[in-house]
A and B are shown apart, each in its own frame.
Chain A
Amino acid sequence: DADVTQTPRNRITKTGKRIMLECSQTKGHDRMYWYRQDPGLGLRLIYYSFDVKDINKGEISDGYSVSRQAQAKFSLSLESAIPNQTALYFCASASTGRNEQFFGPGTRLTVL
Chain B
Amino acid sequence: SQQGEEDPQALSIQEGENATMNCSYKTSINNLQWYRQNSGRGLVHLILIRSNEREKHSGRLRVTLDTSKKSSSLLITASRAADTASYFCATDPMTTDSWGKLQFGAGTQVVVTP
Q: Is the CB of A106 within 8 A of B40?
A: yes
**How many of B's residues come within 8 Å of A, CB to CB?**
21
Q: Is the CB of A99 within 8 A of B33?
A: yes
Q: A74 interface residue, CB < 8 Å from B?
A: no
Query: Which A residues touch B1, using CB under 8 A?
Result: 59
* Chain B residues within 8 Å of A, Cβ to Cβ: 1-2, 30-31, 33, 40-45, 48, 88, 92, 100-102, 104-107
* Chain A residues within 8 Å of B, Cβ to Cβ: 4, 31, 33, 35, 40-45, 48, 50, 58-59, 88, 90, 92, 94, 96, 99-106, 108
Q: What are some 16 contacts across the A-B interface (CB < 8 A)?
A: A33-B101, A41-B106, A43-B43, A43-B104, A44-B104, A45-B101, A90-B43, A96-B100, A99-B30, A99-B31, A99-B92, A100-B48, A101-B43, A102-B45, A105-B41, A106-B42
